[in-house]
Structure 1
Amino acid sequence: MSQEPLQSNKQNFPNFYRTVPSEKALYAAIIALLKHFGWMWVGIIYADDDSSINAIKIIKNMIVESGGCVEFIKLVPSINDYTPERIKDIEQTIARSTANVILLYGSKNNVYYLELNVHVTSIPGKVWIHTADSSFRIFNVVNDTVVNGSLRFIMQKNENPAFIKFVKEVNPSRFPSGRTFTTWWDELCENRCPFNPRNRNCTGVESGRQIIWSHCNLKFTGMSYIVYNSVYAVAYALHEMYQETPLSERLQDINKLKFQDLKGWKASPERQIIIKKEAIVWENKFAKLLMPRSVCSEKCLPGYRKSVREGQPVCCYDCLPCLEGQFSNQTDVDVCIKCPEDQWPNVQKTECIKKALTFLSYEDPIGIVLACIAILFSLIASVVLGTFIKYQNTPIVKANNRDLSYLILVSLMLSCLCCLIFIEKPEQLTCFSRQAIFGITFSISVSSLLGKTFIVVIAFNAAKPGNNLRKWVGAKVPKCIVFFCSVIQVFICILWILLVPPSTSYNTQSEIAKIILECDKGSAIAFYVILGYLSILASVCFAVAFLARKLPDTFNDAKLITFSMLVFFTVWIFFIPTYLSAKGTSTVAVEVFAILASSSGMLGSIFVPKCYIILIKPQKNRKNFVLKGSL
C-alpha cells in the first residue's frame, strides 16, 4: 500500500502493484488547490524522513513552475529531537512569516508531535494544508478545537456493515497471541466487546456510527478502507487466476504465477478538483474577506509592471508605472508594451490613444507673441522707410546712398513678415518658401550694408589727391555688390529646392504625446550652407566696417554697421546650439526669434539714431552740421 512515487519504476520494482494512488496525485492536488485559491506565497513544514524530503523537492518545483513561491521550508525534528531552541525557531519562523498558507507534509505521528510541542495551530492568521489523514483528529484531541479554514487531503472512505457482525462473532483465539493484540482488542469499540466470545454482548456497538474515533466507526478511515480494498483485490485476483488455470498447470508452474495489473486505482486525467467554498469556515482574521489571501505582493494593476526585488523570490516585487510611451492593459505584467509611433498612452497608461497633431500656430501663446512682434517690427521698418522717403532730400538721408537705405529697410520689413510663414500649418508651398525667403532677404540686407560700407571706404580714399578711385564713386558699384551677393544666395536656394526640396513631415519623437507637423528641410547641409553664406557676408561687412570706423564722422555709418554686425553675430552664434537642442515646435520658435532679433538689431543699430536726428533733432539734419561732423 505504498504511495512512494519511485516504486512506479517497473525496472526497479517489477513485482510491485499499486492498490493506492501514487503520491504524485497528491502533489498535483496540492498545486491545484493553491492555484484554485490563488495562494502563490506559501510556507512548508515537512517531516524528517526520506519520503517527505523527496516529496518536498518535487512540490517546491511544481509551485515555482505554476508561478508561486515558497517563503520558507522548515524541517520538523524527529520525535525525540524537540529541543527548546528548535521549538522556538519553528514558532518564530511561522509567526514572522508573511505567508498565510502553510503546507504541513508528513505522517500523523509527525503532525501529532509537532502540535504537541510547538502548538502551531494556535498561531493566528494561518491556513494549514495537511497531508496526514488523521491530523484533524489529533488536533482535536490536543486542543479540543477545530482549526477553521484548515484543509486536509484524506483517502477515500466507505462503510462496511459486515464489520460489526465480525466484531460480535469472531473468535479472538484465531488471532496471534500476545499483549499487542490484547491491547488492541481492549480498545476495540471503546472496550464494549469483551475478549471472551461467550460473554460478549457488544452493548452499544450497533450505534457505532456515533462512536466517532472508535474502531467500530462504520465509516472507516482512509487507510482502513485501503487495506480492505487491497485484501479483497488480491483475494479476487487469486481466485480468478486459480479458476482459469488448469490444475496440471497450477501444480507445474505454481512458482511462475505472476499478478496481473488489477487496475485497482488509475489516475483520471480529466478529473478536476472541486471545492465548495461556501462550506468552508475561515478563521476570524479572514472573516471580512471572501477567502484568505496569501501573496508576497499584491497584483500590479494595468498601467504598471512588476519589478522583482533584488535577492527575493519572483513573487515579491514592486509595482512600477510604465515608462513614457508604454502601457499595460493586464495585471501582473513583467514588461510594458510600447505604443506605436503615432499613439501615446492615456493618463492611466492602460491603453494607447492617438497623439495630438500640433504645430506652431497662431493659437499658441508663443505663436501669438512672435506674430505680434513680427508685425510690430515690420511696421516700424515701414514707418522708418516712410520717414526716409519723406525726408529723402535731407543730408542725413542722402549720405551713403539713400537707395541702399531704402533697400535695407524693405528687406528688413520682408524678413520680419516672412516669420508669419513659419507660424502656420506647414504645407508643401510654405516649406519651399520659408528658408528661401529668409535666406534671400537677409542676404539682400547684409549685402546692402556691405555696399554702404564700401561706399564709405571708396569715398574717403577717392578724396585723397592723386587717387584713381573717383571713377568707382557712384551708385553702380554698391548695386553690383548687392546684386552679385544676393544672386549667389538665390542660386543656393534654387539648388536646394531642386535637389533636396523641403517637405512636410510628421515628427513623432520630439514631444511627448504629440505628433509635430513640421517642415523637413530635406537637407540640413543646405540649411547650414545658407547660414554659412550669410555669416561670410556678415564677416566681410564687419571687417570692412571695423576698418572704416575711424574715418571722419561725416561717414559715421561705418560705426553703426559695425555695431549692427556685432548684434547679428551674437544672435546667430547663440542660435545654433539653441536650435540644435530645441525640439518640436520650439525649433521653429527659436528660428523665428533669431530672425526677428537680428532684423531688429540691424534696424535699431543703423536707423534709430538717424530717425532720432530727423524727427527729434532736425537742426542737426543740415549740411553744415554734417560737414562739421556733428552728427
Structure 2
Amino acid sequence: MCKFLPQCSIREPVPILHKYYQSGDLIIAGIISQIYIFSDTLSFEKQPSQEFSDDHISITFSEVFRLTTVQEKIPGPFLYAMIIAVQVMVEPRRKGSHFVAMIALHAQKERFPTRKLIYGSAPVMNDKSPGLPFYQMAATEALQYEGILSLLLHFRWTWIGIIATDNDNGERFVQTISPMFTKSGVCFAFLERIPSFSFISEIPGMLTQGATISQKIFSSKANVVLVSGESYSMATFRWLPNLSEHDDIKNNVKSKVWIISAQVEFASFVFQRNWDAGIFSGAISFEIHFRNPPGFHQYVLHRNPSSTDGDGFIREFWQQAFECLLPDITADKVEGNICTGEEKLENLPGSLFEVSMTGHSYSIHSAAYAVAHALHAMSSRLRHRGMAFRVRGKNPNQQSWQLHNFLRNISFNNTAGDVVFINQNGEAASSLDIVNWIICTNQSLHRVRVGKIDPQAPPDQSLLLDEDAITWHSWFNQTQPLSVCTERCLPGSSKKVKEGQPPCCYDCIPCAEGKIANQDDMNDCNKCPDKDYPSKNQDACLPKDISFLSYEEPLGISLACFSLFLSLITALVLGTFIKHHDTPIVIANNRNLTYTLLISLLLCFLCALLFIGQPEKVTCLLRQTAFGIIFSTAVSCVLAKTFTVVLAFMATKPESRMRKWVGKGLGHSILLSCSIVQAGICTVWLATSPPYPDVDMHSVTEEIILECNEGSVTMFYCVFIYMSCLATVSFAVAFLARKLPDSFNEAKFITFSMLVFCSVWLSFIPSYLSTKGKYMVAVEVFSILASGIGLLVCIFYPKCYIIILRPELNNREQLIRKKN
C-alpha cells in the first residue's frame, strides 16, 4: 500500500526495548520464547511503528538479522547462532520449521557461519539442505510417539480423545499418530483442534469455539485425553473447564487423565495465576530428561532485579509475576504496589515460574555446552595449524565452517554430570521422562518422575514405568482409570464391531460351541486342539479323558460279571441236558440242535467280553464278526428246531408227502446253510475292509474315545440285516406253530424267545445311534446279553424245570398220555 502513498516510509516496525547479549570474544546466540503478546488489529490509520505489532515473527527476523548481519556491533571473531525452537514464539499459523530454514538460508547467503541446534519441541528437519546442518538436542518426536503408544497399551487405554493446536505442528502430530495408533488398536473418541489467536478481537470467537470443544471433551466417555501443543498451550487449555455452557458439566467436571506431550510446559498467563488447575492433577507428562546442574537452584532463587546487570527481561518479569512496579521506572504518581526487589521467587505458583530446571532449559544448557566444546576442540586444532595459515596468508577464522565436523560425534559430560553425545546424524541420544503432575489445593505443582522412555532399549522394552508411584486424580478414587469404548469382553466371548462404529466399540458375543476365548477382548474365538476340549465357560482348553469301556470302571466290570454269570448258567444247562440226554424231553425236539443252540448261547455270552477293555487289533477283528456268526448260528438253530416241529406234525397226516423230509438231516441242513451265509458275509468283510482300532476326537466333547472302527459300514449293516431276517423268519414260523400239541411242541416257547430277541434288537438300533463312546459299546453288550437271556430262559427254563424239579413228568408214558 505504501508505494501508492508518498508520505509512507519504511521504518523499523517495532522499537527493540532490550538487547539480551553482552560483548565478548565469542557469542552463542539463542532464539527463545519469553513472552506472548496480544494486540489489536492494525487499522492503518496511523503509523504501524507507533503501536506494538502483532506479527511476532517479524520481530524474530529482525533480531536474527541484526545478529547475523551487523557484525561490527558484536565484537569477536566468531558468531554461532543457536536457533532454538523458534516455532514456540511465532504466530501459530505460521510454519516454525520454515522460519528456521529461512534464517539458515539468509545466514548462508551472507556467508555467515551458523549451526542450528534445535531443542525440545522442534520438529525433525526432514528437508535438510546441503550445507545447512541441524542438530537435535532432545529426543526425537518418533520416540515420543512410540512412548505415548506404549503407555496407552500398557494401561489398556484404547478409547482416547485428542486435543491438538490448530496449526501445522498440530496437523503433523495428528497425521503421524492416527495410522500408528489405529494399527495398534487405539481409537479416537474425539479429535479437537484448539483455535489460536493473535488479535484481541479474535478472543470472543475463540471462547465460543472453545465452549463447544469443552462440551465434547467433558461429556465424552473417554477418560484419557492426549494433548499436543506448543510450550504456551497449557495457558489455553486451562480455559476449557470454564467454558462449558452447561452448569452440570461446569460445576461437576468429570476429570480426565491428561497425557501431555513434551512440547507443552505447565505455563499460564499472568491473569490465570489464581485459576484452579486441579482438573489437571494426575496428568502424565512426557518431558525431556534433565537434571539440575550443581548450584542452579540457589542461583535462580537469588535472582532479582538488583542482582542483574542489563537484563531487562528480569525486570519486566518481576513486575508481572509479583503484580507490582519497580521504583526506578515508575512515574511521579504511582498507583498500585511497589516492588521491593526482595520478593521470593519460590512463592510464585509453579505455573508462573519454575525454580528448578526444565527439560527445554536443560536442552538449551546442553546445546550451549556442545557448541563450546566443539569450538574448544576446533580452536585447539587451529592453534596447531596457525603457523601454516600465516605462511600461506590465510586467516584461521575462514575455517569456521569446520565446526560442523567437531559437532558431529561430540561427547562430553555437562555440568549436571550427564553424558551428552551427538551422533553422526546430528541427534543427541536423549531419553524422555514420564512425569506425574500433582497439583495441590494451593495450586502448587509437584512433578513426580514415574518412568522413562529409553531410546537405547529394544522397542518392546523401552517403556519403564512405576505404576505404584502414580497419583491419579481424586475423581478416580485412586484406582487405575479405564478408558475404553466397550469395557471389555470377558474370556468366553469375542468382539463384534458395531456397524458404523470404530473398531474399539463392539458387542461381546459368546463363543460358538467348541471354541474358546481365553483372554479379554479377543477378536475371535479359537478351537481347542483335538486333545483338549473347551471348559464350561469356554474360557480355557482342558485335556480330554481317554475313554473306552474298561474293566476298571463299574459299568465295564458289571457287564463282564453278568456275561460270565450267564455263561456259567448256560454251561450248567448244557451239562444238565447232556446228563439227561436219554430222557424223552431232551430227545423230543432234536437233541443235537439243542446242544448246538446252548453252545452258541454260551459263546454269545462270552463274546460280550470282546467289547470290554481297550480296543486292540485282534479284538476289533473278532468283535462284530464273531458276534454275527455265533448269533446267526443260534438263530439258525431256533429256525431249524421250529421247522422240524412243523414238519413233524405235517407228516402225521395221512398220505402226507412231508414224511420224507422229517429227520435230523433237515435241521442240520438249515443250520449249516444259514450259518455259512453269515460266515461268508463276515469273511468278505474281513478281506475287504476289516475293523481296526481307532481314536475318535470329536464325537464326545470331553473325551478321546478309543474305539473299533468298523471299516466298512455297509458290511456291518449287512451282518445285522441278515441276522434280523433269520430272527424274523424264526418268529413267524414259531408264531404259526404255537398252537400245536404241547407234548411235542416247543414252538410256543420259541415264539416268546424270538419276540424278546426281536424286541431287544429293535430297541438296540435307536439306542445305539443316540449314544457315543463307551456307552455305545455298552448298549451293544447289553443287547447281546439281553437277547441271549431271552433265548435261554424262554426255551430252556420249562425243560429244566421238568428235568430237575419234576422228573416224574420226563417219561414216555406221560408224553403219550398228554398226546392222547
Length-normalised TM-score, structure 1: 0.74
Mark the CA change 1:424 to 1:196 in structure 2 (over 3 Å): closer, same or farther.
closer
Secondary structure of the residue aligned to 1:307 is strand
Counterpart Cα distance in 1 of 2:662 and 2:289 = 122
Secondary structure of the residue aligned to 1:141 is coil
Counterpart Cα distance in 2 of 1:280 and 1:359 = 58
Superposition RMSD in Å: 5.6
What residue in structure 2 maps to residue 485 of structure 1?
674
Give yes or no for the alignment of 1:29 onto 2:144.
yes
Secondary structure of the residue aligned to 1:488 is helix
What residue in structure 2 maps to residue 627 of structure 1?
819
Counterpart Cα distance in 2 of 1:488 and 1:214 = 104
Mark the CA change 1:410 to 1:80 in structure 2 (over 3 Å): closer, same or farther.
same
Give yes or no for the alignment of 1:101 onto 2:231.
no
Give yes or no for the alignment of 1:63 onto 2:181.
yes
**Identity of counterpart residues, as a percentage?**
38
Counterpart Cα distance in 1 of 2:317 and 2:430 = 42
Counterpart Cα distance in 1 of 2:353 and 2:639 = 122
Counterpart Cα distance in 1 of 2:353 and 2:567 = 112
Counterpart Cα distance in 2 of 1:136 and 1:208 = 15
For the 8 Å contact 2:489–2:495, the answer to whether it is kept is no
Mark the CA change 1:431 to 1:126 in structure 2 (over 3 Å): closer, same or farther.
same
Higher helix share: 1
What residue in structure 2 maps to residue 2 of structure 1?
87
What residue in structure 1 maps to residue 240 of structure 2?
114
Counterpart Cα distance in 2 of 1:539 and 1:68 = 73
Give yes or no for the alignment of 1:422 onto 2:507.
no
What residue in structure 2 maps to residue 241 of structure 1?
none
**1:474 Cα deviation (Å)?**
0.9
* Of 266-275 and 484-493, the range deviating more from structure 2: 266-275
For the 8 Å contact 1:111–1:135, the answer to whether it is kept is no
For the 8 Å contact 1:170–1:197, the answer to whether it is kept is no
- Unpaired stretches in structure 1, ≥5 consecutive residues: 176-181, 234-259
* Of 43-52 and 163-172, the range deviating more from structure 2: 163-172
Give yes or no for the alignment of 1:143 onto 2:276.
yes
Mark the CA change 1:395 to 1:220 in structure 2 (over 3 Å): closer, same or farther.
closer
Length-normalised TM-score, structure 2: 0.59
1:561 aligns with one of 744, 750, 774: 750
Secondary structure of the residue aligned to 1:71 is strand
1:603 aligns with one of 784, 789, 792: 792
2:495 aligns with one of 299, 307, 312: 307
Mark the CA change 1:14 to 1:343 in structure 2 (over 3 Å): closer, same or farther.
farther
Mark the CA change 1:214 to 1:372 in structure 2 (over 3 Å): closer, same or farther.
closer
Counterpart Cα distance in 1 of 2:251 and 2:177 = 22
Secondary structure of the residue aligned to 2:625 is helix
What residue in structure 2 maps to residue 247 of structure 1?
none
- Unpaired stretches in structure 2, ≥5 consecutive residues: 1-85, 106-115, 125-139, 197-202, 333-337, 371-403, 409-421, 436-448, 451-467
Mark the CA change 1:194 to 1:515 in structure 2 (over 3 Å): closer, same or farther.
same
For the 8 Å contact 1:42–1:101, the answer to whether it is kept is yes
1:494 aligns with one of 676, 683, 691: 683
Give yes or no for the alignment of 1:49 onto 2:160.
no
For the 8 Å contact 1:169–1:197, the answer to whether it is kept is no
1:40 aligns with one of 152, 157, 162: 157
Counterpart Cα distance in 1 of 2:528 and 2:359 = 58
Counterpart Cα distance in 2 of 1:540 and 1:410 = 22
Matches within 5 A, 1:174-185: none
Secondary structure of the residue aligned to 1:534 is helix
For the 8 Å contact 2:214–2:240, the answer to whether it is kept is no
Counterpart Cα distance in 2 of 1:574 and 1:9 = 91
Counterpart Cα distance in 2 of 1:481 and 1:496 = 23
Counterpart Cα distance in 2 of 1:468 and 1:9 = 126
* Of 543-552 and 313-322, the range deviating more from structure 2: 313-322
What residue in structure 1 maps to residue 253 of structure 2?
123
* Of 447-456 and 363-372, the range deviating more from structure 2: 363-372
Matches within 5 A, 1:200-599: 203-204=340-341, 271-275=431-435, 276-277=449-450, 281-286=471-476, 288-289=478-479, 292-295=481-484, 306-308=494-496, 310-311=498-499, 313-315=502-504, 333-335=522-524, 338-343=527-532, 355-389=544-578, 391-549=580-738, 551-553=740-742, 556-599=745-788
* Of 413-422 and 309-318, the range deviating more from structure 2: 309-318
**1:442 Cα deviation (Å)?**
0.8
Q: How many residues align?
A: 607
Query: What is the letter of the counterpart of residue 268 of structure 2?
Result: R
Counterpart Cα distance in 1 of 2:307 and 2:706 = 96
Query: What is the letter of the counterpart of residue 147 of structure 2?
Result: A
For the 8 Å contact 1:188–1:214, the answer to whether it is kept is no
For the 8 Å contact 1:45–1:76, the answer to whether it is kept is no
Counterpart Cα distance in 1 of 2:351 and 2:706 = 87
**1:413 Cα deviation (Å)?**
2.1
* Of 344-353 and 584-593, the range deviating more from structure 2: 344-353
Counterpart Cα distance in 2 of 1:469 and 1:32 = 105
Counterpart Cα distance in 1 of 2:469 and 2:645 = 107
**1:345 Cα deviation (Å)?**
7.0
Mark the CA change 1:420 to 1:140 in structure 2 (over 3 Å): closer, same or farther.
farther
Counterpart Cα distance in 2 of 1:220 and 1:418 = 94
**Residues 222-280 of structure 1: per-residue CA shift (max 9 Å, x gap):** 9999999999x9xxxxxxxxxxxxxxxxxxxxxxxxxx999999666874555522775
Query: What is the letter of the counterpart of residue 815 of structure 2?
Result: K
Counterpart Cα distance in 1 of 2:817 and 2:207 = 117
Query: What is the letter of the counterpart of residue 284 of structure 1?
Result: S
**Residues 316-361 of structure 1: per-residue CA shift (max 9 Å, x gap):** 6688887777677777654565454345578998886764433212
Mark the CA change 1:109 to 1:288 in structure 2 (over 3 Å): closer, same or farther.
closer
Counterpart Cα distance in 2 of 1:340 and 1:144 = 56
Counterpart Cα distance in 2 of 1:491 and 1:214 = 101
Query: What is the letter of the counterpart of residue 495 of structure 2?
Result: S
Counterpart Cα distance in 1 of 2:748 and 2:764 = 24
